[in-house]
Structure 1
Amino acid sequence: MADGAVFLAVDLGAGSGRIIAGLMLEGRLSLEEVYRFENEPFEEGGNLYWDFEKLWAGVVEGLRLSVDRYGAESICSIGVDTWGVDYGFIDKNGKLLGKIRHYRDPRTKNMYEDLEKRVSKDVIFEKTGIQFMNINTLPQMRAEVKDPDSLLPLADQFLMVPDLINLSLTGQAFCERTNASTTQFYNPIKKDWSRTLFEALALPLDVAPKFVSPGTDLGIVKASIRDQTGLSSETRVVTVGAHDTASAVAAVPAKIGTKFAYLSSGTWSLLGVELENPIITSLARSYNFTNEVGVFDTIRLLKNINGLWVVQECRRVWKERGNDWSYRELAEMASGAERLQSFIDPDDARFAGRCNMPLVIQDYCRETGQVVPEGAAEILRLVTDSLAMKIRFVLERLEEVIGYRIEVLHIIGGGGQNDQLNKSIASSINRPVVVGPYEATAAGNVMMQKVALDGLRSLGEGRDLIRESFQTRHFEPAHPDDWDTAYVRFRNLMNL
């Protein structure tokens, strides 16, 4: 398409939503944030929900502002990506039924134990290749089936969150495959829903939506949405890697043939590799790796690690006490503190939810006989070093599963702006780290829109565009002997 073409990425995260414009100029892609809005859950009756009406209102406002900025005729298409696992029910007219539960809702507690009475964990992993996490759609849906007040009996089908946005934009109800694969009842080998697991859930298969792949043109925006936003009747809606990590990994600026791993760094740290086929082995299961679908029919073999959530919770607590530090200030504070003093396991259950995180960290250190960090800087350095150590631990097991050594780690996403974390990771894994693009999810989103409408023919061509369009930064290991010595303490801390 000609210079000046605009592709809109609707990028909805667990904390905020954004509309980002991808603009082509002289063969390069640039990104501009048009609109940002909060996406905060709310509690009601002891349960946690997403405010979908507010989320949708933010999308509509962002599209309207995009038309104001670029003009309706310049906007070629829209692509939607969100977090995974969460869903809503719709009736036969496409109307959303009730509220959408948040993946941190407590209803999933003990649901795996309940499911094991009907199907073993071995079978679940064999059919899906997905790691076991209480946030997954599988335990959510089991809780749904067991809830006497569930709206399931009234539902025509379920849709994942990005599919609900696409439905609102186009009237088309499909489930995009990358997000379907996060449910833990999608079979990546058969490329279909697992009948075995639907039966185990006691979930009728007819509520399952039909699939659509990334890079599919869903058609034009509905007339009612055009009236609200001013969008043109020529603007298309395209499926992208609807799971935000799938879009982010699509934008990893790696060259073909490089033995690379990626780290999508944000609230969650998602560490993995890109493969042609899933690895569904006893070793992969024992290490709790997950096989999620990527763009161009790839597999993202990865593991979820509790990431900068711990820092976010610390920041929230400190802000409530009057210290409204920015994330940049927090990273600088960590860099000034002494390294490798004490550690936490970021994936310990006590760090998973909302809490007084600084106090919980201090209590953990007391319980484990470590030096207790007193100030904010010391706490931040502890969290940074601990996350770097956990990434090393997971990387070692990833290499064991795939059978080869990773040469370089690509860090993508907003967490890549934390220089101290980047330095700690490079030193911990003793390998070079390449950081960028920060806006990988939006870049990958736009890239797949161009696949559908503008002639990009392969993942390699898409990544060529990303490398030519965005700068990266490089970090080399430092003090490897110190990190090796400290890693022994970290391993012992986890009783491994």
Structure 2
Amino acid sequence: MNKHIAIDLGASNGRVLVGDLTEFEVVHRFVTHNDQILGSFYWNLQSLFSEIKVGLKKAFSQYGDQIRSIGIDTWGVDYVLTDETGSLVSLCYHYRDGRTDGLISVVSEKLGGKMRIYERTGIAFQPFNTLYQLAAMQRDRGAALASARHYLSVPDLLAYWLTGVMKNERSHASTTQLYDPRTGDWAWDLIDDMQFDRRLFGPIVDSGTILGSLTGEVAHEVGADGSALVIASAAHDTASAVAAVPASRDETPLYISSGTWSLLGVELPAPRTDRSAMESGFTNEVAASSQIRFLKNIMGMWIQQECVRHWEREENREISWKDLDAETLLCQTYQGYIDPSDVRFLKPNSYDNLMVDRINVWCDEHALKRPSSKGEYMVAIYRGLAKAYAKAIKDLEGVLNLHFTSLYIIGGGCKNEILDQWTAQETGLTVYAGPVEATALGNLVVQAWACKELKDLQEGRDLIRSRQKVKVFQP
């Protein structure tokens, strides 16, 4: 039976999986390292590429000529620039780096206001959008930008290093705030008004496009016979995850892709770029199907993760998630909560600005009792997330004039059964939690579709619904 390799890179960890829609296994798991260098945050892409090759070597060692294709998905917005030879002209900045602070207003004024930008791109205004990252580079590192000839997203670059083929995959390009979802091309007028070099932005290809074979060098290193194809899967991890929502053909499923971020939304046949959509904070990104993922970015498990990382460093021990959940349930009577959308929660811990301290200050500002234990911090985070989900769903129903009765929570965050139940209670919706490995499964769906093993993406969703575990939570 044919197998596919899904390389799934999240903001905290990466996995190389092998399999199909009936069964798969993780053959390699690793941390997606980032480094602070002279005050700036960067992704260590060379390290990630080395880990990917370790995973590929394990996969080909075990499954050899059964492997038909390889696909990569990662988080959105981050990118590299290369010169005309394909060499990097800069390290890859982390989207949480602070160099873009304040640039939304500067760029909006330069481009004629937020409404013009939103009408052209449909992307909500976040300080980490590629548009503002490039604007920061233009301001601070103009010589490096001037020497660049190619823009590549992180998954575009990794695919280039595997194949020698440079392409911009559509679902990822749509996160940049430099893509026009109506024309399906770059937003050239915004690019020109920003005085970015048009030559940077190359051909955009659909999810499921076959890029080519591994280079001879990579094939030799990982033990591949050269027959496996590298496919531009749904390269944005949320697009891959949404492709795996276990909904039936006649549904318009409401979903949350839950992980470091919580991405809440629906799929639409066309973008919504009117003022009500903009003011509600919704974004229009491209799905694997080329439909529109109309969704809202909500800070997710990142806040929880940063608290745990701080406690583990402080106590010099690994914290058990099982023990933390038990303590959280014991603290349910604590009434504090946070607003996870507050921008103060975006940045990583630093020695003088810890996540737990930001939670304390938020509670002080809102006349709420500070958390006094790890469990109470978790209650504040989970209750805040459930409230944020409920508000976003209400806003979405208002913008679309729809009413939802159920919610699919997919991805690693769906394992948090406390949050699943509290979300059901806060929203009044039936919650279907699973599959956990939605992003990798969606990646596999797109590859199987590209290889003509599925007649369409919905057939992949049908298989996932029948084969994967989904747990139900009632209000």
Q: TM-score range by the shorter chain?
A: over 0.9
Query: SS in structure 2 opposite 1:295?
Result: coil
Match of 2:471 in 1: 473
* Residue of structure 2 equivalent to 1:75: 67
Aligned residues of 2:81 and 2:152 also touching (Cα < 8 A): yes
Distance 1:326 1:202, change over 3 A: farther
The one-letter code sitting in structure 2 at the alignment partner of 1:234 is S
- Offset, 1:155: 1.4
Aligned residue for 2:230, secondary structure, equals strand
Write the distance in 1 (CA, Å) between the matches of 2:258 and 2:92: 26
**1:455 and 2:453 are equivalent in the alignment:** yes
Contact 2:252 2:267 in 1 (8 A): no
Q: Aligned residue for 1:55?
A: 48
Distance 1:196 1:149, change over 3 A: closer
Query: Per the alignment, do residues 166 and 232 of structure 1 end up closer, same or farther by CA in structure 2, a change over 3 Å counting?
Result: same
The answer to whether the Cα contact below 8 Å between 1:22 and 1:443 also exists between their aligned partners in 2 is: no
State how 1:283-302 maps to structure 2 within 5 Å: 283-302=276-295
For normalisation by structure 1, the TM-score amounts to 0.92
2:320 aligned residue: 326
- Worse-superposed segment, 323-332 or 173-182: 323-332
- Contact kept, 8 Å, 2:74 with 2:237, in 1: the verdict is yes
Unaligned runs of 5+ in 2: none
**Contact 2:386/2:423 (8 A) holds in 1:** yes
Q: SS where residue 217 of structure 1 aligns?
A: strand
Deviation at 1:340, TM superposition (A): 6.2
Aligned equivalents of 2:19, 2:127: Cα separation in 1 = 35
Instruction: Determine which of 33, 58, 63 is the counterpart of 1:40.
Output: 33
1:7 matched residue in structure 2: 4
Q: Give the equivalent residue in structure 2 for 1:116.
A: 108
Is 1:207 the equivalent of 2:200?
Answer: yes
Share of identical aligned residues, percent? 38
Paired residue secondary structure (2:193):
helix
Single out whichever of 289-298 and 42-51 deviates more from structure 2.
42-51
Map 1:101-112 onto structure 2 (within 5 A).
101-112=93-104
Amino acid at match of 1:48: F
Q: Equivalent residue for 1:422? A: 420
C-alpha contact (below 8 Å) 1:115/1:200 kept by paired residues: no
Distance 1:40 1:259, change over 3 A: same
Deviation of the 1:373 alpha carbon: 1.9
Residue 431 to residue 159, structure 1, CA distance change in 2 (3 Å): same
1:18 aligns with 2:15: yes
In 1, the alpha carbon distance for the partners of 2:423 and 2:187 equals 38
Residue 342 of structure 1 is matched in structure 2 by: 336
1:439 maps to which residue? 437
Deviation at 1:256? Answer: 1.8
CA offset at residue 249 of structure 1?
Answer: 0.2
Hey, what does 1:491 align to over in structure 2?
none
SS in 1 for 2:17: strand
**Structure 1 residue 145: Cα displacement:** 1.4
Counterpart residue number, 2:305: 312
Q: How far, CA to CA, are the matches of 1:453 and 1:15 in structure 2?
A: 30
1:12-33: CA deviations, max 9, x gaps? 111122101124xxxx521211
**Structure 1 residue aligned with 2:119, among 97, 108, 126?**
126
Give 1:469 deviation, angstroms: 2.1
The Cα offsets for residues 241-262 of structure 1, whole Å up to 9 and x where unpaired, read as: 1000000000000112224210
In the alignment, is the contact (CA less than 8 A) between 1:259 and 1:406 conserved in 2? no
- The alignment yields a C-alpha RMSD, in angstroms, of 1.4
**The 10-residue stretch of structure 1 (97-106 or 359-368) with the greater mean CA deviation from structure 2:** 359-368
- Worse overlay, 54-63 or 39-48: 39-48
1:352 aligns with 2:346: yes
* Whole-Å separation in 2 of the counterparts to 1:69 and 1:421: 37
1:411–1:436 CA contact under 8 A, matched in 2: yes
Does residue 98 in structure 1 map to residue 90 in structure 2?
A: yes
Instruction: Answer yes or no: is the 8 Å Cα contact 1:259–1:407 preserved in 2.
Output: no
| Equivalent residue number for residue 383 of structure 2 | 385
Q: Secondary structure at the match of 2:382?
A: helix
Q: State the Cα deviation string for residues 308-363 of structure 1 (Å, max 9, x = none).
A: 11110110111112252133432332122124611211111222212322232223
One-letter code aligned to 2:431: V
Comparing 210-219 and 141-150, the one that deviates more: 141-150
Could you say which residue in structure 1 is the equivalent of 2:399? 401
